Amino acid sequence: MSEPLAPQYDPSHIEADLYRWWMNQRLFEASGRGKQRYVIMMPPPNVTANLHMGHGLNNTVQDVLVRFERMRGRDTLWLPGTDHAGIATQNVVERLLAKEGKTRFDLGREAFVERVWEYVRQTGATILDQLKAIGSSCDWSRTYFTLDEDLSRAVREVFVRLYEKDLVYRGHYLINWCPRCLTALSNEEAEKEEVDGHLWYLKYPLETGGFITVATTRPETMLGDTGVAVHPDDPRYRDLVGRQVLLPLTDRAIPIIADAAIDPEFGTGAVKLTPAHDPLDFELGRRHKLASIDIFTPEARMAETVPDRFQGLDRAEARKRVVAELQAAGLLEKVENHRHAVAHCYRCETIVEPRLSDQWFVRMEPLAKQALAAYRTGKVRFIPERRGDEYAQWMENIRDWCISRQLWWGHRIPVWYCGNSSCGRIVASRTDLARCPGCGGSVEQDPDVLDTWFSSWLVPFSSLGWPDKTGDLRRYYPGNTLVTAPEILFFWVARMIMSGLEFMGEVPFDTVYLHGTVRDTQHRKMSKSLGNGIDPLEVVERYGADALRYTVVAGMAVGTDLILDPSDLESSFAAGRNFANKLWNAGRFILGNLDGPTRPLAGDYRNVVPKSALGLADRWIIARCDATIRTATEAYERYRLNDAANAIYHFIWSDLADWYIEQIKPRLYGDVPGKDVAQAVVAATFETALRMLHPVMPFITEALWQRLPGRGGASISVAPWPGPDQRASDPAALAQFGLVQELVGALRSIRADYGIQPGLSIRAFITDAPLAGARIFDAERPTIMRLAKLSGLELGNLPEGAGATAVLSDGSAVFVPLGDAIDLDKECGRLKSEHSRLVQQIQSQNGKLANEQFVARAPAEVVDKERRKLDDWREQADVLSQKLERLGCK
RNA sequence: GGGCGAAUAGCUCAGCUGGUUCAGAGCGCCUGCCUUACACGCAGGAUGUCGGGGGUUCGAAUCCCUCUUCGCCCACCA
């Protein structure tokens, strides 16, 4: 570790080596450091997923929090895991099979599931390795998978308990069905999306002659109509209630019924009823005892229940055909454009079909009641707060959760049906059953599996060994923070709160931090299908994990989205890389100026130098460091990670590198008084800065920190978080050095303004300084002269002649004689010719704007622009004439 | 249809409890510099009706109302 550092920071090897070293040290394993616990639960990624920016963001935030708390000395556990992602994973493997020309039915259930396992074993570790590449400090020894034996046992236990409490039931209801995945979906999995559709007005002939017109967005479902409904008070239809309608294209007569659920204002006020394919119609069908006719196959093609000529058509074709036939028969009154919400499968985007079938449900109301109360009593809070309202709203309008899925990949429903028709028992069991416990007859297990979320909602305790009362469970439940994207607030977070309360009696975490979404510059969500994604691993390779993390953390305020440009990684990530390089070089400089490793730089300059030996700049940087500690600590605590990152960035780049290091250079270079002080203070503040930055940029801070003398092979990741220090607070130093900075800035401005050669030293004079100011300038003369490149600084008197002036905030006036700094005649000439050029421009511009034709005909913006140009030039001319005057040009 | 949020520099955004970092940061742009840690750098500079309009206040980017434009969540007007 003592080889000379390269002038450019290269993360590529450093990061991988450090991660390996951290793992060997087992630094991230929960091991009981500290009394206070900090537990954070990773939202389990899909086991076969590849890391995308959403994961990158989510895990960076979690890692920052957990590293911060680990340094604060808490007993931290960041629990990682993956989920089996039933539909998604099964789909992937089915696609692979399709390439071989096979379906899952060709293999059979057992062989297919084995095939999925094989696939998972093959790809399953990748996502976790990718998380390691971005620095995630999880306790990998506790990694779980939702299909692990332990977690599967918990799933069964929960199912059976809920069944015994009558909170799980089997019902014949209309559910969301994905005709591509061939499975039921929960309401949350059927995502509503607004689409431009049509409203068709269909004329249904009345038995007694005449027509009743109904409006529908789905004309093809008319083949399954079993009634027409109107509002009971609707005068248009009062006489028709109870009469029959002859359903076109079929030979059926269906009744007209009255129900208050019908909105007379919409469409014609008459609605066709298809109980098998629409939620409202299903309700009304039950209420009025209408038949229901399922007109679709599972693939959403027309079934045998419709006339021959329609059979086998898919939904879209059937719609065309039905509309065409109705039109031919003169039964299509009109078609209107109509925008409405259509549900899509959240996995494959296919339009969801409402379908009548037997499914298992969780009765949610009792669970939601507790979960809502926990929120209302402040047992769980949301960041940002407004997300809590969404949570509450969902809880208040909770609907039962359809948990059965017609898949093979997942936890099979632990229910057995007795085959003996005289017994017919249905048993939910913790253990596999071979015979019916009632009659001893043969039993058959339910073929369906459970929704993946039915295992995910248990992980805060199932991953810790529940239902066994393990030590882990006692120690790490409940946890503290849950960090996730708002998309899965209902899928996962809300349900975890419910399960935690139901099975553990306590909410699983007290804070839910919902971060934003990663989007491209057009504010579209990054997604594979749009091809606008950024591969975090490519970023790691090109810029380093620290750069990735810095960009993510610094670029995102609480509750806002993270906008990145997929076509220009440089613009997004260069800032992080540059910062890393800056830090690296500051470290390189400091390490190279510490006179070898013998000096005891244990982080506290007080061990080395007495306070009385500190100069103004030393006191200033110590005070700034302390202020930054306070800001950063508070910001981390309040989840304002961007504030913390920016405060530390500013401290390192502006305060430490731009000012303090520049200030101490003369002291470091020679063997002069104050050298030891400068060394001690710069080492101490730099070391503190590394610790503050570590949660955000763990790799480079570790690499530099270990090179500081006296580290003895320890890791910064378990070094103590820097605490604020009363003795470091020094408002006077902040103000006084601020004045020095102001003076140096003013002198530099003058130099740039008047084109003084950068290499040329100049003289400067200060008058009207208040006593205090004068004393500071006098004492800090070497610093000022060096940083502003002066050959002399005089207080009190003003020389004769032309010069430039500036006034500081304390009233001091700065004067720089220009006669000896620049060739006055030449400068005057330059300024004069520039001035006359401007005057000419202004005249011709005046002419242009006086041209009535131009003003009248040109677009308003153009005229405005020209006016602004004129104003600009006038202003520039003013500045020039002032300058000319000050220089005494004639 | 209901609820919520956002609009600030060319771009991405901070700005928390009205007033001492209140008009900011990074990137981009302009000018000058390879000054022995760093050109992934240094120094200097330009850029804003804080979405429009109204109000409250001694004082508003900040609070209220309204309009416009985007976004999010929820919802069985077929």
Which tens digit of pLDDT belongs to each residue from A615-648? 999 999 999 999 999 999 999 998 889 999 999 9
- Nucleotide with minimal C1' distance from the CA of A5 is B37
Residue closest to B78, CA→C1'? A216
Residue closest to B2, CA→C1'? A393
- Nucleotide with minimal C1' distance from the CA of A547 is B40
pLDDT of residue A1: 43
Q: Extract the tokens encoding A190.
A: 């059927």
CA of A647 to C1' of B14 (A): 12
Lowest mean pLDDT among A110-114, A316-320, A400-404, A795-799: A795-799
- Nucleotide with minimal C1' distance from the CA of A339 is B77
Residue A144 has pLDDT above 90, yes or no: yes
3-state secondary structure of A562: strand
Q: Extract the tokens encoding A868.
A: 């602004």
- Nucleotide with minimal C1' distance from the CA of A263 is B77
pLDDT of residue A272: 92
* Confidence band, pLDDT 50/70/90 cuts, at residue A383: confident
* Confidence band, pLDDT 50/70/90 cuts, at residue A416: very high
CA of A531 to C1' of B75 (A): 32
Give strand ranges (E) for A385-510: 401-402, 404-405, 415-418, 426-428, 443-445, 449-450, 481-484
Q: Exposure string (b/e) for A701-737, b if CB count within 10 Å is 16 or more? A: bbbbbbbbbebeeebbbbbebbeebeebebeebeebb
Residue A501 has pLDDT above 50, yes or no: yes
Cβ partners under 8 Å of residue A557, min gap 6: A640, A642
Residue A204 falls in which region: left (phi positive, over 0), alpha (psi -120 to 50) or beta: beta
Q: Residue range A590-606: average pLDDT? A: 66
Residue A809 has pLDDT above 90, yes or no: no
Query: What is the layout of strands, in order, in the sheet containing A270-273?
Result: A244-246, A253-258, A227-230, A270-273
CA of A792 to C1' of B29 (A): 35
Q: Output the DSSP codes for A693-708.
A: HTTTSHHHHHHHHHHS
CA of A388 to C1' of B66 (A): 28
State how far the Cα of A706 lies from the Cα of A836, in Å rounded to an integer.
62
- Nucleotide with minimal C1' distance from the CA of A587 is B37
The model's pLDDT over A281-309, given as tens digits with 9 standing for 90+, comes to 998 888 888 888 898 999 989 988 888 89
State how far the Cα of A156 lies from the Cα of A152, in Å rounded to an integer.
6
pLDDT of residue A337: 83
Residue closest to B77, CA→C1'? A266
**Are the CB atoms for A462 and A432 separated by under 8 Å?**
no
Identify the burial level of A457 via C-beta atoms within 10 angstroms of its C-beta, where 0-12 means exposed, 13-18 middle and 19 or more buried: buried
CA angle A448, A449, A454 (to 5 degrees): 140
Per cent of chain A over pLDDT 90 is 44
CA of A643 to C1' of B24 (A): 13
Q: Residue range A97-116: average pLDDT? A: 91
CA angle A656, A662, A665 (to 5 degrees): 120
State how far the Cα of A661 lies from the Cα of A655, in Å rounded to an integer.
9
Residue closest to B11, CA→C1'? A521
- Nucleotide with minimal C1' distance from the CA of A556 is B13
The model's pLDDT over A443-491, given as tens digits with 9 standing for 90+, comes to 999 999 999 999 999 999 999 999 999 999 999 999 999 999 888 888 8
- Nucleotide with minimal C1' distance from the CA of A9 is B40
- Nucleotide with minimal C1' distance from the CA of A268 is B78
The nucleotides of chain B lying under 7 Å from a protein CB are 3-5, 11-16, 25-28, 31-33, 35, 37-45, 70-78
Residue A834 has pLDDT above 80, yes or no: no
Q: Euclidean distance between the first and final Cα of chain A, in Å? A: 65
Cross-strand bridge partners of residue A76: A38
CA of A523 to C1' of B71 (A): 9
pLDDT of residue A603: 52
Q: Extract the tokens encoding A880.
A: 């020039």
The one-letter amino acid at A226: T
Q: Residue range A355-366: average pLDDT? A: 91
Cβ partners under 8 Å of residue A612, min gap 6: none
3-state secondary structure of A542: helix
Q: Exposure string (b/e) for A22-35, b if CB count within 10 Å is 16 or more? A: beeeeebbbeeeee
Closest CA to A74 of A458, A645, A382, A481: A481
Q: Residue range A387-409: average pLDDT? A: 88
CA of A393 to C1' of B73 (A): 10
Q: Residue range A214-219: average pLDDT? A: 90
State how far the Cα of A683 lies from the Cα of A822, in Å rounded to an integer.
41
- Nucleotide with minimal C1' distance from the CA of A188 is B74
Residue closest to B70, CA→C1'? A523
Residue closest to B25, CA→C1'? A646
CA of A739 to C1' of B21 (A): 14
CA of A209 to C1' of B34 (A): 96
A556 vs A130 pLDDT, higher one:
A130
CA of A724 to C1' of B35 (A): 36
* Confidence band, pLDDT 50/70/90 cuts, at residue A605: low
Q: Extract the tokens encoding A204.
A: 């249904």
pLDDT of residue A879: 73
CA of A870 to C1' of B48 (A): 19
Q: Residue range A526-535: average pLDDT? A: 80
pLDDT of residue A24: 95
CA of A788 to C1' of B44 (A): 12
CA of A7 to C1' of B39 (A): 12
Residue A597 has pLDDT above 70, yes or no: no
- Nucleotide with minimal C1' distance from the CA of A230 is B78
Cβ partners under 8 Å of residue A111, min gap 6: none
Closest CA to A423 of A409, A437, A434: A437
Residue A598 has pLDDT above 50, yes or no: no
CA of A759 to C1' of B38 (A): 20
The model's pLDDT over A754-790, given as tens digits with 9 standing for 90+, comes to 888 888 899 999 988 888 888 999 999 999 999 999 9
CA of A582 to C1' of B39 (A): 12
- Nucleotide with minimal C1' distance from the CA of A638 is B16
Is the dihedral angle over the CA atoms A630, A631, A632, A634 positive or is it negative? positive
CA of A538 to C1' of B74 (A): 38
Chain mean pLDDT for chain A: 88
Closest CA to A740 of A710, A705, A775, A708: A775
- Nucleotide with minimal C1' distance from the CA of A656 is B37
Residue closest to B28, CA→C1'? A571
* Confidence band, pLDDT 50/70/90 cuts, at residue A698: very high
| A722: preceding bond cis by omega (within 30 degrees) | no
- DSSP single-letter state for residue A335: E
Per cent of chain A over pLDDT 70 is 96
A526 vs A717 pLDDT, higher one:
A717
**Are the CB atoms for A659 and A744 separated by under 8 Å?**
no
Please state the ipTM of this predicted complex.
0.93
Residue closest to B73, CA→C1'? A390
